[in-house]
Amino acid sequence: MTRTIFETPLINTLFHWLSRFILKILGWRIESIRPSIPKYVMVAAPHTSNWDFPFTLMLCFALRLNVHWMGKASLFPPLFKPVMLWLGGIPVNRQQPGQLVEATIDAFKNADKLTVIIPPEGTRGRVRQWKTGFYRIANGANVPIALAYIDFKQKKGGIMCLFETTGNIDIDLPNIRKHYAGISGKNPLQFDNHDPLD
């Protein structure tokens, strides 16, 4: 994959301290584990606003995480694509989700270190179901899922824990979603945490 801002030592260090400073000034707390394992899928929820992106990046810099994130292809126009890739972006073609899952599984199997952030809702708008790609990727690549969150009401964020998949999505997905009870996104009415999986 493309070398990212998280792998650029001088800039990474600058943004680490800048992110911590901004979050502190804004009254945010970082409550998080820092996974020591080299490979995992990171679920980022709730995803209800464009503000999720900068706050997620600041939390990643503050925690010194080396991440890639998935975004819709329209976020990668030709003029800005190199910048978005440098920021860790992976363009997603929503018309070919199965191919993306398999390609990401292969990327995990071929990499020594890799973290990929995936918003389970698949969009910042209100959805009735979580997408299951993040689960299928983690289970297929045999890597855990880091349950990350941003709570705008309590002004805190980070990674709650690592979740090991069992292969039974009907059991695992409700257990994953239980961790997000009481967490408020920027637009809390758009985060429905009680519906069945996709």
- Reading the block at residue 185, the tokens are 């996104």
Q: What is the pLDDT of residue 97?
A: 58
Give the Cα separation of 72 and 59 in Å (integer).
21
In which element (H, E) is residue 11 found? Answer: helix 9-25
Longest CA pairwise span in the chain (Å): 44
Mind listing the pLDDT tens digit for each residue in 126-145?
555 678 889 999 999 999 99
Of 109 and 74, the one with more pLDDT: 109
What is the average per-residue pLDDT within 24-40?
95
What is the average per-residue pLDDT within 15-21?
97
What value, to the nearest 5°, has the Cα angle with vertex 35 and ends 186 and 101?
Answer: 70
The yes-or-no verdict on residue 62 having pLDDT over 90 is: yes
Side-chain half-sphere CA neighbours of 25 within 13 A: 7
> Averaging pLDDT over each range in 48-57, 76-85, 160-169, 176-185, which range is the top one?
160-169
Give the Cα separation of 128 and 196 in Å (integer).
8
Domain ranges of the chain: 5-190
Q: What is the pLDDT of residue 191?
A: 55
Tell me the pLDDT band of 44, cut-offs 50, 70 and 90. Answer: confident
Please say whether the beta carbons of 70 and 1 come within 8 A.
no
Using DSSP bridges, classify how beta strands 145-151 and 156-163 pair: parallel, antiparallel or unpaired: antiparallel
Buried b (16+ CB within 10 A) or exposed e, 48-71: beeebbebbbbbbbbbebebbbbb
Q: What is the pLDDT of residue 195?
A: 47
Q: What is the pLDDT of residue 70?
A: 77
What value, to the nearest 5°, has the Cα angle with vertex 105 and ends 104 and 106?
Answer: 90
Q: What is the pLDDT of residue 198?
A: 46
Backbone angles phi, psi at 43, to 5 degrees: -85, 130
